[in-house]
């Protein structure tokens, strides 16, 4: 069963409003087992609305349309649909009573345009909207279905759940279910993961099972989709693929869930092992501490950190040797090692993690170009540093250094010896 979404409104085209409605409806319909194959955003123009809905009805089984139902002159959707279907308007008494009562309760004057909100195309079924004053509309055109709803997100969501869903279930009995599983990885690039770690998976990608690589900022997320007659069937259909991925990419997998973050995963490991952590940050400037403390309850394991932007702070607060700063410079293995150890000892933490690098855009040299970053790790049992060569972009360098640092801690705590992105562990 395929679905098309039409979003109407100039504010969407000119970018004043981001189209979150389409994403919400896309997810809602996908989870019901429908296939959303197109989303269209168009202006509040009568002819555009007519021609767009018309082609959508010919291409798709279900058309979901939002926006352009308000009381002002630029709201054209209702007229466009009536014109397109060649029907007149009728007054819906139930809607009129409801709107009038609402205006009375709020002591607002009732105008002609409010009266018109209770008018709907003759052949529609009203989707009664108790979250607002614009009714939704449902049309059955020879077994194809059109739902027209207001663009206000909570009104649309209410109508989808309470009015559209039961009508879809009635119209499409026995529609199958879709299930999505999100497996998150860290410290491995998209192409390495795809070509070298996982390799050919075509034998498992059939019968509706599909796999997508989503390169999100936190690392590559694998989305496994399966279809089935029930949610249980759909779940079961991806289990072989998931097992395969775990077997091949186990060390890179930090957990499952669309919203899961590396700092949350790391926090759970630290809490479970009853270990504490402290940060010593130069080039990341506080970003690692910030991400660690985004997690509720992080005070259980996060003691604090030192942002040592100046060399003097590195010496005074972290015990970095001034002679090393002069001899090899702040961006060096020696200084990264001393920072990690220094912050763990000064803050009395089990683990210290440090960063020192050339974030850019200035400050690069031939030996240490912009993007050169040293990350240090210290715990009772281990002390090492890794060197990464990142980008020319300052914010990206901060972000990636932070991700690598957190992933180094995760791997070290779990006894995984391979470092993220195959970086080399360098001992003191």
Question: Which residue from 20, 93, 274, 417 is in contact with a copy of itself, where contact means CB under 8 A?
Answer: 20
Task: Candidates 77, 279, 355, 401: give the one binding a copy of itself (CB under 8 A).
Answer: 279
Distance CA 343, CA 354 (A): 8
Residue 149 falls in which region: left (phi positive, over 0), alpha (psi -120 to 50) or beta: beta
- CB of residue 87 to a copy of itself, shortest distance in Å: 26
Stretch that binds a copy of itself, among 112-120, 248-256, 373-381, 404-412 (CB under 8 A): 112-120
- Candidates 80, 183, 302, 320: give the one binding a copy of itself (CB under 8 A): 302
Site for a copy of itself in 215-244 (CB under 8 A): 215, 223
**How near is the Cβ of 399 to a copy of itself at its closest, in Å?**
10
* Closer CB to a copy of itself, 112 or 366, in the complex: 112
Instruction: Give the DSSP H/E element, type plus range, for residue 100.
Output: helix 93-105
In 3D space, the residue among 257, 363, 263, 261 whose CA is nearest the CA of residue 309 turns out to be 363
Out of 47, 91, 108, 365, point to the residue binding a copy of itself (CB under 8 A).
108
Convert residues 174-193 into a mask of x (bound to a copy of itself by CB under 8 A) and - (unbound): ------x--------xxxx-
Asked if 18 touches a copy of itself (CB under 8 A), the answer is yes
Stretch that binds a copy of itself, among 89-97, 290-298, 374-382, 404-412 (CB under 8 A): 290-298
Tokens coding 257 = 């869930």
Query: DSSP secondary-structure letter at 264?
Result: H
Task: Indicate whether 74 belongs to the interface with a copy of itself (CB under 8 A).
Answer: yes
Are the CB atoms for 197 and 252 separated by under 8 Å? Answer: yes
When the beta carbons of 122 and 190 are compared against a copy of itself, the nearer one is 190
199, 348, 366, 367: residue in contact with a copy of itself (rule CB under 8 A): 348
Contact (CB, 8 A) for 131 and 144:
no
Q: According to CB under 8 A, which residues from 363 to 402 bind a copy of itself?
A: 388-396, 398
- Measured CA to CA, the distance from residue 318 to residue 337 in angstroms comes to 11
3 close to 40: Cβ distance less than 8 angstroms: no
Q: Give the contacts of 214 (CB within 8 A, at least 6 positions apart).
A: 220, 221, 222, 223
Which strand ranges, in their side-by-side order, compose the sheet holding 177-185?
210-216, 219-228, 177-185, 253-256
Instruction: Build a one-symbol-per-residue string for 124-153: x at contacts with a copy of itself by CB under 8 A, - elsewhere.
Output: ------xx--------------------x-
Of 353, 251, 239, 367, give the one whose Cα is nearest residue 305: 353
Shortest reach from residue 126's CB to a copy of itself, in Å: 19
């Amino acid at each position: 069963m395929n679905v098309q979404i039409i979003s109407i409104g100039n504010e969407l085209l000119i970018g004043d409003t981001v189209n979150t409605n389409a994403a919400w409806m896309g997810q809602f319909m996908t989870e019901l087992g429908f296939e959303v194959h197109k989303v269209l955003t168009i202006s509040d123009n009568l002819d555009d609305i007519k021609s767009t809905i018309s082609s959508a009805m010919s291409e798709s089984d279900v058309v979901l349309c939002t926006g352009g139902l308000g009381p002002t002159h630029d709201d054209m959707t209702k007229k466009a649909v009536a014109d397109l279907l060649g029907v007149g308007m009728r007054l819906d008494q139930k809607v009129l009573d409801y709107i009038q009562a609402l205006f009375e309760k709020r002591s607002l004057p009732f105008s002609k345009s409010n009266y018109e909100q209770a008018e709907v195309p003759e052949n529609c079924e009203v989707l009664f909207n108790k979250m607002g004053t614009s009714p939704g509309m449902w049309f059955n055109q020879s077994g194809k279905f059109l739902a027209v709803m207001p663009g206000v997100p909570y009104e649309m969501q209410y109508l989808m759940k309470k009015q559209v869903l039961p009508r879809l279930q009635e119209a499409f009995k026995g529609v199958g279910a879709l299930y999505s599983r999100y497996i998150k990885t860290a410290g491995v690039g998209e192409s390495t993961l795809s070509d070298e770690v996982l390799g050919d998976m075509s034998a498992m990608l059939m019968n509706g099972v599909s796999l997508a690589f989503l390169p999100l900022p936190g690392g590559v997320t694998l989305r496994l989709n399966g279809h089935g007659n029930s949610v249980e069937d759909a779940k079961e259909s991806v289990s072989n693929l998931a097992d395969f991925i775990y077997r091949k990419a186990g060390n890179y997998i930090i957990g499952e869930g669309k919203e899961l973050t590396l700092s949350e995963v790391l926090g759970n490991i630290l809490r479970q092992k009853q270990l504490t952590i402290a940060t010593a940050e130069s080039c990341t400037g506080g970003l690692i501490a910030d991400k660690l403390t985004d997690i509720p309850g992080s005070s259980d394991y996060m003691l604090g950190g030192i942002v040592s932007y100046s060399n003097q702070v590195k010496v005074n607060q972290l015990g970095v040797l001034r002679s090393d700063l002069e001899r090899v410079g702040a961006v060096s293995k020696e200084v990264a090692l001393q920072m990690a150890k220094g912050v763990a000892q000064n803050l009395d933490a089990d683990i210290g993690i440090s960063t020192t690098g050339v974030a850019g855009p200035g400050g690069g040299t031939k030996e240490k170009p912009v993007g050169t970053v040293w990350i240090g790790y210290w715990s009772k049992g281990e002390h090492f540093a890794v060197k990464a060569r990142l980008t020319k972009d300052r914010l990206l360098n901060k972000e990636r250094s932070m991700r690598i640092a957190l992933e180094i801690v995760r791997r070290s705590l779990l006894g995984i010896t391979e470092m993220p992105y195959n970086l080399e562990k360098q001992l003191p």
